[in-house]
Amino acid sequence: MNTAIEIPWTWLGIRASGVTAWGLLTAVVLWGLLLRTRLLGTGVKPPVLLNMHRWLGSLALAFLAIHLVLLVVDPVVAFTIPQLFIPGIAPWEPFAVSLGVIAMWLMLPVSVVGRIRQRLGKNGAKIFAKTHVIAYSAWPLATAHYVLAGTDAMTEWSIGLLITASALLIFGLIARGFVPAPARPQRVPAPAESSVSAAPEASSSIVG
Ligand code: HEM
């Protein structure tokens, strides 16, 4: 007689994609902090860190998309499309799920504006910087969502993951406060143009 409990693959997928999206979101914030501080010294060039930061952000969104698709496909929770995007109307744990929905809405503007920044002209850098600050608050909300909604949240490995990620981010934030950002190359004005102010560096807006 087979006594094994059948766990739907969709449920496993929701959990695995959720933890992966959260891990990647943590890595995005960490890479942003590495970019903003001198923690890695001069060994790693800022463009390499910036590319990694962007790439991790896209990957986090891809796993978030998988998380959402599986919630619709799962035969037990069977979310509808509006339930994925409107906080408070989920068929299961509405408060805990709302935190994930809000975290998702906080993550989206920075990725959209980041892609069309050049087309926004003069204001592009300013708008991008604002969306970037908003994106920071996605991590605490996504983490609260993980802790409150996650089936695996209170397992040993998951608690270890949560503590390690939080410790790394706290360390990075402290470093951001105490370790100065790498100096941007100063443009020395030629004598004839000394009265013309230098254009702001494009890179000044890449991190919050
Ligand atoms: C930034 C966005 C999000 C992140 C990083 C994220 C991450 C996670 C994580 C880590 C878990 C716990 C997995 C486990 O250990 O069991 C989880 C569970 C869950 N998430 Fe999300 N999530 C996000 C957004 C959303 C959204 C928008 C929804 C639905 C509208 C949602 C619905 C759920 C549900 C229903 C569970 C419970 C699955 C279970 O039984 O464990 N999440 N999510």
Condensed to tens digits (0 to 9), the pLDDT of residues 127-167 reads 999 999 999 999 999 999 999 999 999 999 999 999 999 99
Q: Contact at 8 Å (CB) between 84 and 91?
A: no
100 CA distance to ligand 1 centroid (A)? 6
pLDDT confidence tier of residue 29, bands split at 50, 70 and 90: very high
Alpha helix segments (H runs only) across the chain: 9-36, 46-73, 81-85, 94-116, 124-136, 138-149, 156-178
Is the C-beta atom of 14 inside 6 A of ligand 1?
A: yes
Q: Which atom of ligand 1 is nearest to the CA of 83?
A: 30
182 CA distance to ligand 1 centroid (A)? 36
pLDDT at 87 over 70: yes
Q: Residue 35's pLDDT is what?
A: 86
pLDDT at 80 over 80: yes
Protein residue with least CA distance to atom 10, ligand 1: 19
Task: Determine the average pLDDT of the residues in 82-88.
Answer: 98
Q: Residue 98's pLDDT is what?
A: 98
137 CA distance to ligand 1 centroid (A)? 16
Q: Which atom of ligand 1 is nearest to the CA of 92?
A: 35
| 89/80 Cα distance (integer angstroms) | 10
